[in-house]
Amino acid sequence: MFENLNNTSVSTIKEGVELEKMEFKKLRDFLNMELLVDGFFISYKINMPKRAVEQFKTIRDDKDMLNAVLTGHLKLTDIKTMPTKSGITVSYKLTDC
């Protein structure tokens, strides 16, 4: 019944990235830093604001933007905390590099 939701034909991780050697870290661990994006996952367990999910779905679905990610042309910059109605969140900007 849910097979049509699987989008396995689109790779969203840069080739050669060894995921099994990585550990999960919160974006909060990278305050005031810049992060080169080698890829991303979208799952139902995502721990980011809804706007981030929509941003990365847009990137996944746009061939040119996804290619830019996979060839090392996307960074997260201006990573900082900010207050929201429901507490504190971490914000960032997407930047070409």
pLDDT at 4 over 60: no
Q: How many CA atoms lie within 13 A of 92 on its CB side?
A: 25
What are 11's two structure tokens? 């790779």
Amino acid of residue 54? E
Burial 52-75 (b: 16+ CB within 10 A, else e): beebbeebbeeeebbebbbeeebb
CA 47 – CA 41 distance, rounded (Å): 11
Q: Look over the chain and give the mean of its residue pLDDT values, rounded to a whole number.
A: 84
Average pLDDT over residues 29-43: 89
Tens of pLDDT, residues 59-69: 999 999 999 99
What does the domain layout of the chain look like in residue ranges?
3-96
pLDDT at 40 over 80: yes
